[in-house]
Amino acid sequence: MPKKDIHPEWFPDAKVICNGEVVMTTGSTQPEIHVDVWSGNHPFFTGTQKILDTEGRVDRFMRKYGMATNDDDSANKKEKTKDEASESGSSKDS
């Protein structure tokens, strides 16, 4: 037998609330549970995806730490590697 007066009150029909509406009932130590995400609106279960971050986390990280590359920079790097390759190739011919 469990000891008396040491266990929390049990609510067998606790309401799970998401965005102001009851989505399910379950057993809990609280009468109402407020959640932001549940299986009815989670992209994994619904098969849809909501874009929350339009900027992109990787782009923001790269820009924050000075690793951002512009299209001009990448084109310049490609040209430099081509020039270096042609120089190394011409020096071998000499």
Nearest CA to 39 out of 20, 23, 60 is that of 23
Helix/strand/coil for 6: coil
Distance in angstroms (rounded) separating the CA atoms of residues 24 and 61: 39
**Domain co-membership, 68 together with 78:** yes
Residue 12 tokens, joined:
């067998």
Distance in angstroms (rounded) separating the CA atoms of residues 20 and 62: 38
**Domain co-membership, 44 together with 57:** no
**Domain co-membership, 17 together with 44:** yes
Q: Is residue 39 part of a domain?
A: yes
pTM, 2 dp: 0.45
pLDDT at residue 28 is higher than 70:
yes
pLDDT at residue 94 is higher than 50:
no
Q: Structurally, how many domains does the chain consist of?
A: 2
**Domain co-membership, 70 together with 43:** no
Q: Binning pLDDT at 50, 70 and 90, where does residue 14 land?
A: very high
Domain that holds residue 58: 51-87
**Domain co-membership, 58 together with 39:** no
**Domain co-membership, 38 together with 68:** no
Helix/strand/coil for 88: helix
Distance in angstroms (rounded) separating the CA atoms of residues 61 and 85: 32
Distance in angstroms (rounded) separating the CA atoms of residues 17 and 20: 6
